[in-house]
Every structure is written in structure tokens, then in C-alpha cells.
Structure 1
């Protein structure tokens, strides 16, 4: 896979989520993203379970970005619709979600129908950087753990600015990498994670902030949530071992879906090591489109 080839990357991401949709939903529930716990909590001892923690991550990003109730939201990388249905339900938002995976879009649509939210949550198989939504269509652009799959991140921030109304909010939660140079062993760990998670590269939280400002956003801020989400990769709590019932199970999955499905299982230990060593980080970004668009900052 050539990260510079946007079409090739999109195809690889689409395939990965098509073949792992049921695995993620079986193990992680409504949300295909990290959970959020208070610092020092251990889920098996004094912390909430994964499902409550993933719900909480959505609430934390809503609060951090000060997302208004009832706003129209563009959901970049909507997955199977977990966050969108939270936004459309309790917050009364209207959500247009996009994903590269046709199976994810179909499953999200099904879940919205079952929840009685089809009028407020719609899902499409689209590239988030190439939609036909007009300028200033949304009050918020929302991206939970999708920006890592986008190779052209300056283009993402430019498109988010285009889609937002003046005063609109950008809310991002993303995997990231520690700012600064990495030693060879750290670089190899990052390389392996990128391969198994079908991502072109990582940016640091600091780089995300710089890109948002360069695109023309104001009131840009980031928060490091690494310690709050790292429990997501605890070997037992991640629940992946329930699928690890010997090489026969893995062979059957690989025959049925192709060897790419094995990336799902290899990623866990790599991500845990990344968080344990501080090489992989995780954070939130919030930003605002100026009331009068003065263009990118120099």
C-alpha cells in the first residue's frame, strides 16, 4: 500500500473495516473507538466497563469542544454509527455520517432505524474529502479516530473549514505520536502499528494544532487523553483473547476473509506497548471557524 496513493489507501481502509465489522461490534459494542476512564481507574477493579467508557469518550469530546445541542454535524469516519446516535439522540443533533466502508454505512443505517433516529442520523459511503455538501453546511465537524486514516491532513482541515458555518466547531479525537524524534526501535514500533491498522502515518498532537491554525481555524486547543484511554488495550479487557482459541480459528478466519483480517488481532499488543512507552499518544482537538473567514494563518 502506497500512502501517497489516496485511492489505494482508501481501498485498503474500506476492505479492513468491511472484513472486521462484526469483530469490532462483537468485542467493542456500539463504538469502534477507545474508551475514556479517570486517571488511575482499572476497569476490572474500580472502573466502568468498555461500553460505558466508549459512551463517555463521546460525552467528553462533546464537553471539551462545547458542541451545542441541536446542531447539524458532519461525522467523518462514522463507523457503525455509535457516536452519531449519541449526538442525534440525547443531544438532538442532525448528523450526516460518512465512511469508506459500505458495510459500516449499512449497519449504521440499520441501527439508526432501530433506534428511531433515521430522520436525524443518515450515513453514506463517501470519502470525507470529496463530498457534494455545499460550503457552510454544518455547525460542527466531528472526527473520532478517523483522521489517522487520512494521508492528506492539511486537506482535511481545509475541507472541515469549508463545510463549517462561521462560528462552527471542529471536534477531533485521534491517535497520535509523541512529538519529536523517535529512536530506531520506536520508529519500528510505529511502523508495525501503521501496517496493522491500515494508516499512512501519525501526526503529533502539536502538529494537529499547527495544521488547524494554518488552515484558518481560531481558538485551537488540544488535550492529551493518553492516560485516560490506554485501558482500551489491556490484554484481558480488550476481550480479543476470546477469539484466540488456537491456530485453527485464525486459519479459518484467514481463509474466509483473507489474511488482512489478522491485523485486527496483531494490533492489540503493539498498541499497548505504544501507550506503555509513551510513543503512541491520544488526544482531543477543538477549534472554531472565524465569524469572518480571513483565510489561513501564515
Structure 2
């Protein structure tokens, strides 16, 4: 099961790497806006909003400047480079996607940060780092793709030094029983985004405490990040998903995974509008 999911995630990101970068830039994750602000008005554009998500998680978790940090699910290196450049961190980024490793490494060299940031293809649930290696473990929108989040939390605790910080942001669903319409909507999102399932947001407080973390805090950032799926932010406001010639050409050039990405955009927007999708920011400390 886990190997099948990992392979699907690897193939998804290998085939969409330049698509995501072309549309969203270095940060392949949600943006963060003030309440009442969004890409549809005078709010920050997607690049500034995505950069802010990194800063908000950094502040929420209280990661110290100069920390030795593991970036679990590093994408093409946007957050890792930000943490190294702006916060003085030494970052080791890991991802399931070999193509993301290549691109992130290129970007680190281009930014002059290759001496502070490195990238490897590695499963965040089963790493080869010694116990108590890192001051912080960072996972920005990568737990969505993990079949066993509790195994990741156990691994994060293992590789953290005593007093080390966990910083996570991740998609969730609302607490409580979901109706058939919500389940059907989520099933479509899971299929198109290479996600095995999503837990209720309330699970993370319990899971972190059961794993052995202390000072656990969970916040729901859904009202701040939902604008990510406005068409202006997503970069597809001029694309017609009913234009079959466009879709055929896109599939020919990028593969069918690219189609899954585009069709997921209105589904994600609906999930936030319906209150089904939540977005957890999680911070905790290893005793």
C-alpha cells in the first residue's frame, strides 16, 4: 500500500514539476492572505502569498535562526532556500521525486546556497539519519501524500534533538461525520492529487501527543489560505477546461497527471467553500 502510494506521488510530481513551477514559481504550496483579502482583489499576488506561508509557519513553530533543519517533502526547494537565505538555516531537503531533487539542486546552486542546502530522494517516513540529528523538522504540505502520518511523526521525533521543533502545515478535513456529497468530493480530490486520504484536523493534536511530543499546538488556517484556489492565484484564469484540443495537447506534452492537476482546482475551491477542507498548522517540541 505505502509503496504504491509513494510511486504514484513520485510519478505525479516528476511529470508536473515544470507545470507547477511555471504557474506557481518556487513555492509549490498554498498562499496565505489576511482575512478579507484574496487574489481576486488588491491582496498580495500568489508569489508573495506563498512566501508568506513559509514565514507564518516559521513564526508559528518558533524555529530558531541558524537551525539545522530537515525539510520533509521539499518540492523544488522554495521553502528550503528561503529558510537558508532569510533565517540562516542549514537545510537537508528530502522528496520522493527524483526530478524535484534535480531541480531543487539546480536552484540551490543558482542562488549561491549549495553550501547550506542539499537535497536527496528519500522517504520521510523511513530516513537514514541518526537519532537526534536536527534542531527542527519541517513538513510544508507533504503529509497529504503519506499513508501513515503517525509513522512520520515517530520518525520526526526520532531525528529531532531534545528541545527540537516540529513544524507542519497540511491539508485536512473538518471534524465530525461527513455526508455523501462531501465524501464524493474528497474522493475526486484524492484521485487527482495523488492523496491516499485526509484525516480530520482534530487528529493531529492527539497523534503528536501519542508520538511523544510536548507543547503541541494546532491552528486551522483554512480562512487564510483558501484563496489559493481562486483562478487568479492558480494561474489558469485564461485556460478553458472544456477546450478538448488544449487538453489533448497538454496531455501529449505533460502526461495525464497534468490534467489531474487542472481538474483538481475547482474541486479544491469547492471543498474550501463548503467547509469540508481544512488546513492545519501544527507545532510541537521534542521533550
TM-score tier by shorter-chain length is: over 0.9
* CA positional deviation for 1:249: 2.1
Matches within 5 A, 1:46-57: 46-57=42-53
- Deviations along 1:196-235, one digit per CA (max 9) or x if unpaired, are 1101110122101111110000000111100100110012
The separation in 2 between residues aligned to 1:281 and 1:104, in whole angstroms, is: 26
1:150 Cα deviation after fit? 0.3
After the TM superposition, list the runs of 4 or more consecutive aligned residues in structure 1 that deviate by more than 6 angstroms. none
Question: What displacement does 1:236 show?
Answer: 3.1
Work out which of the residue numbers 99, 104, 119 in structure 1 matches 2:100: 104
The CA distance in 2 between the partners of 1:74 and 1:244, in whole Å, is 39
Q: Is the 8 A contact 2:73 2:95 kept in 1?
A: yes
Q: Deviations over 1:27-82 (max 9, x none)?
A: 11110000000000132322111000000000000000001000000001000000
Distance 2:235 2:258 in 1: 16
Report how far residue 259 of structure 1 moved: 2.1
SS at match of 2:57: helix
Q: Which residue of 1 aligns with 2:183?
A: 187
For residue 240 of structure 1, what is the aligned residue in structure 2? Answer: 236
How has the CA–CA distance of structure 1 residues 202 and 121 changed in structure 2, closer, same or farther, with 3 Å as cutoff?
same
- 1:93 is aligned to 89
1: distance between equivalents of 2:247 and 2:25? 21
CA separation in 2, counterparts of 1:163 and 1:50? 33
Aligned equivalents of 1:234 and 1:252: distance in 2? 24
The answer as to 2:275 corresponding to 1:270 is: no
| Counterpart in the other structure of 2:161 | 165
Corresponding residue for residue 11 of structure 1: 7
Q: Which residue of 2 aligns with 1:211?
A: 207
Ranges in structure 1 where 5+ consecutive residues have no aligned partner: 291-298
Task: List runs of 5+ in structure 2 lacking aligned partners.
Answer: none
CA distance in 2, matches of 1:27, 1:261: 12
Aligned equivalent of 1:253: 250
Aligned to 2:134: 138
Deviation at 1:243, TM superposition (A): 4.3
CA distance in 1, matches of 2:110, 2:13: 22
Distance 1:256 1:90 in 2: 36
Aligned to 2:33: 37
TM-score normalized by the length of structure 1: 0.94
